[in-house]
Structure 1
């Protein structure tokens, strides 16, 4: 880190405007524009991760009680993949695009330029602190932006490690980290940013969006929600139980796309519950509390919130239910007999507690889902194509996955994001690049076009108005037609004029040649 940056970052919350100005000045130098520079920084980001895998594992074990293997599976592999994918594709992603050929506009060379937005802010949560901070950073770097990173105060070991490593590996004039809690975040949000990416819960998101509105800072949000799983009795029951329970207990359920509740036909409920119990016994043969494979809840307040939901449920705990406040342990828990207004259905659980709701049929399951906010993810377990299509075609969600859980967030080429209350915009891979990219439209109108478009200039008269309506109004298809050519006509006139001018010139040259 340069001495200037270090001094700014160590002067407290009152100097966050200086941090932003520092990054803005770095961006204004134009260093982020060349693709080669972006690739250098993306490669440095990849090595920041690879060189320090043991340190990241120790930090996340300290913050979350997470096993080294789970950290590799859930975060390190995917984050490293984001950086490498951006490294290999940034040149292709950044190329200017020509718009589809149009007879009306081709002479003006309409082009879409891919340009950086400027200085962006990434605010990440505690549950996947590496993937949700450094993954979007790869997209911001690829798009040519300067970036300020704000990791969660609930992961102090990880946040301190990132603050140490970023200035060692990346250009400190363009990329910086600030740590802190509510006061620091509040100060940062008082500033204008060229884009903000916030991942977290809806309560804080409303604060972020309110602050951003005051400075007209555009925002992308990923907010989670109550993601349902719909079970069809035709499913492969053993496979369904294993994949569903893994999605629920991974990271102790602290996953924004974890299955939050299950909708099961009442006639199939007992059979389904037995299968889930068997899986949990296989996962943790000596019990989850003594297992190195089971994570812990991030903080005392989050533990108390989840335990409170469990304590107030009117459902029946059929598996698990034990807790340990001292170690912030909550056992994987299955709860049946849960009604729509139960404590476990009032908010996202974000823990290893799974309410199971009995329904009469798939129609009731769809009605139950649609009576609530659009979820970030929706899961369907079935071997019946018509069943899967019926659920997906009649619901809305950020993503929809058949016969598995949470892996969609790691699938290359798919956008990751919500809809409505579960978030706006998306990220991962090229979608992160697109989020932090400004699509700048350009036209270069040649002088000859004034022979065609002179009707736009005053003084206006009946003849110009007639020309405008003749050549600029699109022709409409018949009212009963499904398609048709609705393009304005002046482009055709332009081609005709060019051809006519060329013909006149050719005739003139022929006559000169004959003399």
Structure 2
């Protein structure tokens, strides 16, 4: 596809003002919802082919969340898109200040493979609600899902409004070098740096949803059975291929072994005695990623799981102990079903361990002690997270989702999605009379005194 020609087509469509009316935006969100519903079974099959996801997991973690995002933005769009009057200081009398939300224009969405439907269409919902045109580049690592996404969007929209561009890294690179009005990228930090560098050549703003080593702290007051269930679910959802999955556990030494026992029980309950034979347990996306993950096991003591099937590209839910803090598994994001479990003696040591690395995308704390909860919130910097749960903060449209530091920049979900794809234009509307001469030269001591009083 000729990227420059497509860009000109979308620019002309946007400049004609088609995308600006709120009624149009609501109608397009409904068209997207209807097209998704028509292709829901095909999309479910595609997710099973690409990632081995069970239908229930596909709906829970991808399709259902897209519907929820579209409903949320349809419901509140009229209020969010209205100009908002703001307080105007005396120095601007007579005048009124207003903030006008306006779309950026042409947005590029670069989607990853781990949640290939959700992380393609959820940002797109925000882009359309804000009144933009969009180009979506799905991941080539999830080809079946990418084809269904193209079918959905081709059915719902003309390419001058929403277009899908397929291809590999070279296509993503070419797209990033083009002067879009906004680039939204979800993926790893290494590629994120390249996206940002390419965008910088055109001074294109970027939203980067990256990752990192998300910690999970369990103290001695935690409900161990509940904690084990929620940690196991959050970690091994999508076979651990989740950017906000707990990447390592820090467990108080007094409850270390009791929690391990509860986690082993939860794994057996969720996935059976042989998880690799469970058809509902997802697979690793590719042989290359499978080999990387099995390589991370070197030098670690397996506390549970550890089995792997290269032919099926599956690795059992695995708990690891005696992990060297300088080993690769503790230096890089795991992004798979391997979970190091480390004991700690006091909370200060646990917090110090988290702060020794880059700011994570997510963090979790299991405790019934309110003082520990407060310290967790005020001591650690992270993108978002949960107290006494994992991952579920993503399911609340009222909570913005995004990273901080090396885990990303910008946020979306719900109102934050609308704002992510919206420029807030500040405008002062001045009256014609009176035209107070105080600001005009020549300046005198008397004028300076009056200026000080007005601007105080």
Q: Could you tell me which residue of structure 1 aligns to residue 283 of structure 2?
A: 296
Cα distance in 2 for partners of 1:173, 1:18 equals 10
Map 1:373-388 to 2 at 5 A: 373-388=358-373
Aligned counterparts of 2:452 and 2:264: Cα–Cα separation in 1: 72
Does residue 278 of structure 2 align to residue 331 of structure 1? no
User: Larger deviation: 206-215 or 322-331?
Assistant: 322-331
Cα distance in structure 1, aligned partners of 2:392 and 2:88: 39
Note the 1:490-501 alignment, pairs <5 A.
none
The Cα shift of 1:103 comes to: 4.1
What SS does the corresponding residue of 1:162 show, helix, strand or coil?
helix
Q: Which of 237, 253, 256 does residue 269 from structure 1 map onto? A: 256
Q: Deviations over 1:419-469 (max 9, x none)?
A: 10111110011101101111111112112242x2x1332344444444434
Distance 1:460 1:418 in 2: 49
**Counterpart Cα distance in 1 of 2:303 and 2:101:** 55
> Secondary structure of the equivalent of 1:444?
strand
Q: Shift in Å at residue 47 of structure 1?
A: 0.9
Corresponding residue for residue 204 of structure 1: 191
- The residue aligned with 1:357 is 342
In the other structure, the counterpart of 1:501 is none
- Alpha-carbon distance in 1 for matches of 2:269, 2:379: 35
- In the other structure, the counterpart of 1:109 is 96
Which is bigger in relative contact order (C-alpha 8 A, separation at least 6)? 2
Instruction: Give a deviation string over 1:227-274, Cα, whole Å, max 9, x none.
Output: 010001211111110110000110000000000000012232111111
Query: C-alpha separation between the residues in 2 aligned to 1:274 and 1:164?
Result: 46
TM-score (norm 1): 0.86
Runs of at least 5 residues in structure 2 that lack an aligned partner in the other structure: none
Are residues 461 and 21 of structure 1, via their aligned partners in 2, closer, same or farther at CA, if it must alter by over 3 Å?
same
Residue correspondence of structure 1 range 253-264 to structure 2 within 5 A:
253-264=240-251
- CA distance in 2 between counterparts of 1:293 and 1:385 reads 37
1:457 equivalent in alignment to 2:440: yes
Q: Distance in 1 between matches of 2:454 and 2:381?
A: 42
8 A contact 2:113–2:139 mirrored in 1: yes
C-alpha displacement of 1:170: 2.0
In structure 2, distance between residues paired with 1:75 and 1:228: 23
Partner Cα distance (2:286, 2:204) in 1: 31
Counterpart of 2:451? 468
Aligned partner of 1:127 among 106, 110, 114: 114
CA distance in structure 2 between the aligned counterparts of 1:462 and 1:408, rounded to whole angstroms? 58
Structure 1 residue aligned with 2:398: 413
Q: Is 1:96–2:83 an aligned residue pair?
A: yes
- For the residue of structure 1 that corresponds to 2:123, the secondary structure is helix
For 2:423, the equivalent position in structure 1 comes to 438
Match of residue 265, structure 2, among 253, 278, 287: 278
Contact 1:337/1:358 (<8 A) preserved:
no
Q: 2:53 aligned to 66, 69, 72, which one?
A: 66
Q: How far off is 1:412 after superposition?
A: 2.2
Query: Is residue 165 of structure 1 aligned with residue 148 of structure 2?
Result: no
What CA deviation, in whole Å up to 9, does each residue of 1:5-62 have, x standing for no partner? xxxx3xxxxx211111111111111001111111110100111211211011001011
Contact 1:316 1:335 in 2 (8 A): yes
Displacement of 1:101 in angstroms is 5.5
Whether the aligned pair in 1 keeps the contact of 2:383 and 2:403 (CA below 8 Å) is: yes
Select the residue among 382, 407, 412 that pairs with 1:427.
412
Conservation of the 8 A alpha-carbon contact between 2:361 and 2:404: yes
For 1:393, the equivalent position in structure 2 comes to 378
Counterpart of 2:132 (choices 135, 145, 157) is 145
1:487 corresponds to: none
Normalised TM-score (structure 2): 0.97
Alignment counterpart, residue 195 of structure 1, candidates 170, 182, 187: 182
Of 306, 309, 314 in structure 1, the residue corresponding to residue 293 of structure 2 is 306
Bigger Cα Rg: 1
What is the aligned-residue RMSD (CA, Å)?
A: 1.4
Judging changes above 3 Å, is the alpha-carbon distance between structure 1 residues 85 and 171 closer, same or farther for their aligned structure 2 residues?
farther
Report SS of the residue matched to 1:215: coil
Equivalent residues, number? 456
2:47 and 2:145 in contact (8 A); partners too = yes
Map of 1:52 onto structure 2: 39
Q: CA separation in 2, counterparts of 1:457 and 1:192? A: 41
> 2:8 aligned with 1:21, yes or no?
yes
Partner of 1:510: none
Change (3 A) 1:71 1:106: farther
> Following TM superposition, by how much is the alpha carbon of 1:404 offset from its aligned partner in structure 2, in angstroms?
0.8
Contact 2:88 2:95 in 1 (8 A): no
**Residues in 1 aligned to 2:166 and 2:201: alpha-carbon distance in whole angstroms:** 23
Sort the Cα spacing of 1:325 and 1:283 in 2 relative to 1 into closer, same or farther, 3 A. same
Displacement, 1:79? 0.6
Q: Residue 39 of structure 1 corresponds to which residue in structure 2?
A: 26
